[in-house]
Structure 1
Amino acid sequence: MHDAANLETNMLGPVLADRSCGDCTACCTVLQVASPDFAKPAGVPCAHLTANGCGIHAVRPHICRTWFCVWRRQADLPDAARPDRSGLLVSMNFVPKPQNCFEGVSINVRLLAGSDAIENGMAARVLDVLCEYLIPVWFSDGDKKMLMHPTPDIARPVLSGAPAPAELQDEVAAWREQYGMFVPGR
């Protein structure tokens, strides 16, 4: 986990001092946790979650002390993008055996149950901010997971290894250089 936390800091920056979880407990229910000191399945509230938040906050597991959603790290995301306010949980994903190079290390924007973030435009605002970086961005609405960044005209040649059109060669080369290590079979 230490390496993942360092990677998150290198890619997204440090946790912002002026942002706190407050009443938000979305991660305590939505995310799967599989660490040496604590485990819970995705979509199931943590056994320690109470109506007032974490019932063991002072002695919570290491994973809970060191994991932060992307909203806590990205000043460009508006305050309204906090998961409990926006209906979107944004996190870094680390997939040990990715199906493609865009899954190894990526940002996942999850639409929470009952969220109106698509209709009210918050999902678009969040995606606009996150798609400015050389980091793959996936959007999940609970039924399907869609690659939002890079765009298909960049993703296709990166995934296939085919030559990129002249006007896209530099961008395709940047993605290949950054994420080529996650190509399955390497």
Structure 2
Amino acid sequence: MRSAPETDVETTLLGPVLADRSCGDCTACCTVLTIDTPDLKKPAGQPCENLFEGGCRIHAERPHICRTWFCAWRRVATMPEDARPDRSGLLVSLNFVRAPQNCFEGVSINIRVLAGSEAIENGMAAVVLDSLCDQLIPVWFSDGSSKMLLHPDDDVARLVLSGDPAPPHLEDEVSAWRERYGVFMPTHGR
């Protein structure tokens, strides 16, 4: 008997890659992201050694990490067409942190403002946030030097982290976050 294929975490949380969205000329991920795999190592903020003016010089044989990674714009249909990283100045990705400082960092969406971006001033950042902050996935916003948690809101985040009882109007929401992200919460003191 054949078992059903396993769905990767990105597909489970963000959905499948959308057939009508392709990277086109966008190479933001080839510069912005840190890559540290056996096949490819590249520090954040530096272009990949395989990137040249026409795209990826090894595209046909690119490493597994490059074949399987897709920014959220390629997966989240509610993100507008103009949110493609090279157009919007925002790179949105699902992040995994091996040693999270809190439960909202283990698995989360990170919106990175790219150098020279006007996404905050022109309102694109707000549009992208609105398209992402309706799910039970933490959303962080980063300018490259610091990051801040934008979803869930401060009241809910504080209650989730503290373990304090939630007021009636927040009980369901706080409970849902604790249930989903409890695996990332410290067990000491509880």
Q: By the TM > 0.5 criterion, same fold? A: yes
Q: Runs (4+) of structure 1 moved beyond 6 Å? A: none
Structure-2 residue corresponding to 1:39: 41
Contact 1:98 1:184 in 2 (8 A): no
Consecutive unaligned residues in structure 2, runs of 5 or more: 1-6
Structure-2 residue corresponding to 1:157: 159
Structure-1 residue corresponding to 2:55: 53
Consecutive unaligned residues in structure 1, runs of 5 or more: none
Structure-2 residue corresponding to 1:117: 119
- CA offset digits 1:129-149 (Å, max 9, x no partner): 100100000000122100000
Distance 1:158 1:18 in 2: 38
Contact 1:158 1:172 in 2 (8 A): yes
Structure-2 residue corresponding to 1:144: 146
Distance 1:185 1:159 in 2: 12
Give identity over the alignment, percent. Answer: 71
Contact 1:118 1:124 in 2 (8 A): yes
Distance 1:184 1:101 in 2: 8
Larger Rg: 2
Across the aligned residues of Structure 1 and Structure 2, the Cα RMSD in angstroms comes to 1.3
Structure-1 residue corresponding to 2:70: 68
**Which of 14, 18, 22 is the equivalent residue of 1:20?**
22
Structure-2 residue corresponding to 1:129: 131
Structure-2 residue corresponding to 1:179: 181
What SS does the corresponding residue of 1:14 show, helix, strand or coil?
coil
Structure-2 residue corresponding to 1:77: 79
Aligned length, in residue pairs: 183
